[in-house]
Structure 1
Amino acid sequence: MPNSHLINILNDWMQWPSICQQHPSLEELTPLNEGLTNENWLFQPKDSQAQYVIRCNSNKESDFYINRHHEREVHQSISELGLCPAVIFENKEKNYWIRPYINGKTLKETLVNNSSPELLNQVTQILKQVHQLPLNQHWPTIDLNDRIESYWQQLISKQPDQAKELEHLKTAIERQFKTSNDFKPCLCHMDCNTQNWIINQNETHLIDWEYAHIGNPAWDLAVLSESAQLNATQIKAMLKQYQSISITQFNQAKQEMQYLESLWFAIKLNLSLAEFSTTLNSIWSINKP
Structure 2
Amino acid sequence: MDSYKKIRIKGGFKNDTFKLIEGDKQIFVKVKKYDKFNHKLNYKIVTKFDFVPTLISENKEEIKWEFIETEKLELNDKNLRKMATILKQLHTSNIELPASNHKSRLQDCFNDLKFKKTKPKEIEDFYKIALDIVDEFDTNTPLHNDPWMNNFILSNKKIWLIDWEYASLGDKHFDLAFTIDGSYLDKNQEKVFLDAYGKYDKNKLFNAKILVNYLTLVWMHRFDELPFSDKAIIANLHKKR
TM class by smaller structure: 0.7 to 0.9
| Alignment correspondent of 2:52 | 84
Give the partner amino acid of 1:193: W
For residues 48 and 128 of structure 2, the distance between their equivalents in structure 1, rounded to whole angstroms, comes to 44
Identity of aligned residues (%): 19
Q: Deviations over 1:87-106 (max 9, x none)?
A: 212332xx01222100122x
> 2:208 corresponds to which residue?
253
Using the alignment, how far apart are the partners of 1:43 and 1:245 within structure 2? 41
Matched, 1:149 2:107: yes
Q: Which has the higher helix share?
A: 1
Q: Secondary structure at the match of 1:156?
A: coil
- TM (norm. structure 1) is 0.71
What corresponds to 2:69 in structure 1? 103
- DSSP-derived class of the 1:88 partner: strand
What is the total number of aligned residue pairs between the two structures? 234
1:166–1:98 Cα change, 3 Å = closer
Structure 1 segment 208-287 matched on structure 2, within 5 A: 208-271=163-226, 281-284=234-237
Question: What is residue 206 of structure 1 aligned with on the other side?
Answer: 161
What TM-score does the superposition give when structure 2 sets the normalisation length?
A: 0.84
Larger strand share, 1 or 2:
2
Instruction: Tell me the residue number matched to 1:61.
Output: 35
Corresponding position of 2:81:
121
Spell out, residue by residue over 1:13-58, the C-alpha distance to the aligned partner (whole angstroms, 9 max, x if none). Answer: xxxxxxxx6584xxx111112421210111112xx22211121111
- Residue 84 of structure 1 and its aligned partner are, at CA, apart by 1.4
- For the 8 Å contact 1:188–1:217, the answer to whether it is kept is yes
1:151-166 matches, within 5 Å, as 151-156=109-114, 159=116, 162=117
Displacement of 1:168 in angstroms is: 7.5
Gaps of 5+ in 1: 1-20
Any idea what SS the aligned residue of 2:179 has?
A: helix
Cα deviation, residue 166, structure 1: 6.5
- Which residue of 9, 22, 35 corresponds with 2:12? 35
Q: Give me the whole-angstrom Cα distance separating, in 2, the residues matched to 1:270 and 1:155.
A: 14
Change (3 A) 1:266 1:49: same
Unaligned runs of 5+ in 2: none
Q: CA deviation at 1:153?
A: 0.9
Q: Looking at CA atoms only, which structure, 1 or 2, has the larger radius of gyration?
A: 1
Which residues in structure 2 correspond to 1:68-79 (within 5 Å)? 68=39, 70-71=40-41, 73=42, 75-79=43-47
User: Which amino acid is 1:77 matched to?
Assistant: I
- 1:179 correspondence with 2:133: yes
One-letter amino acid of the counterpart of residue 35, structure 2: E
Match of 1:49 among 7, 24, 32: 24
In structure 1, give the amino acid aligned to 2:54: A
Q: Answer whether contact 2:123 2:217 (CA < 8 A) is retained.
A: no
Distance (whole Å) between structure 1 residues aligned to residue 209 and residue 122 of structure 2? 20
